[in-house]
Amino acid sequence: MHGIAFKPQETFREDFTFRNSDVAILRFPFPFAEDRYMYSVNIEPHIKGGPTAAYDAVFDIDEHYIAECRDRALTLAADPKRCQVLPHMMAAEWDTLELMMESLSTDYPDLFSFIRNGDDCTWINRPLDIEQRFTFGKPETLPYAPFEYITRQGQGDFSLQDQRDDDLWLDGGMITSQADWSLDFNIGMPFKTWHGPVPKAHEMGVFDRALKFLLRLQLGRPVRRLNWTMTINPRLDTSPDNYPHWGPDRLSVTPENVAQKVYLRVELQTLFRLPRSNAILFGIRCYLISLEDIGRVEKWRKRLHRVLRDLDPALIDYKGMTRFQPMVVDWLSQFDDGATVPSGTAPDQAAL
């Protein structure tokens, strides 16, 4: 048994009751292995195990699972276009459903079961109280299309990339917790167009190398990387479609509340080659941690201070941190004595 203590009633909007337990803080996938940061491809094999427990499963489930699924349902009810898949991607939809059901039931047998006899399938999701019988390959036997059905039950966002003409095309997605990009705007775009707004990375050749690598991604050999930004309040949905609701939050940060208002937002990004469609499933698992909680981990608070203090101004602007970055750096400086911080991202402490 994993013994996950779910928090089904916590919220990521309005009253923002989201909080991390001590367990959740120590399993956070902190993204900075060194005291400086610049874009890089930083891809590694997605094998079970890593600096924290967040890397122990193919698709990580934690205490926020039920609440995040509830928040996703609210977003979809308000804007169904947050889930879109182009018609030619049906094989990739079934590939995704199969991969996620098999992985979740293998990694969390106390929480999920996937029983299959030929094409006759039964899926049991105990945290969400779901038991569904369906016929594999027959979408009419599910309450939603296969991709939407299973990603409504996944933590984090997911997109589907079709491979053709030596490129990857964003031809589907379930995107409800994104960091300021829009599925409705980007769907159908090729890889480098989709990533067009990112500063410096194009001139550094990051996307040329990443595309070349991903076009050769092999079945059964998934990879992962980390990405990060900062956000105000523990809000999952920071989409441009919803900017009027979260954009003004940046004006609410003061030196007195910066530790409680500002969150480090990390994406554990995973990429899987799918077997029938030859498409790529891109998992974007979002984790949030307040500056106040980072302050409880000696290694992380010193390292984050140095990374943000010396961050390239173009990246500060791109990540929307211009107004509050000086307040964050000033708050973190109280913890930084200048001593050498060990390399790596693990917290290097067993308790808080």
> So which residues are the catalytic ones?
225
Backbone angles phi, psi at 249, to 5 degrees: -55, -30
Edge-to-edge strand list for the sheet holding 167-174: 44-45, 223-232, 262-273, 280-290, 157-164, 167-174, 83-85
Amino acid at 222: P
What count of other Cβ atoms lies within 10 Å of the Cβ of residue 44?
Answer: 11
d(CA 175, CA 158): 6
Strands annotated E in the chain:
44-45, 83-85, 112-117, 120-125, 130-135, 157-164, 167-174, 223-232, 262-273, 280-290
**Residue in the block written with tokens 């399993």:** 27
d(CA 305, CA 38): 15
Q: For the chain, what is the radius of gyration of the CA atoms?
A: 20
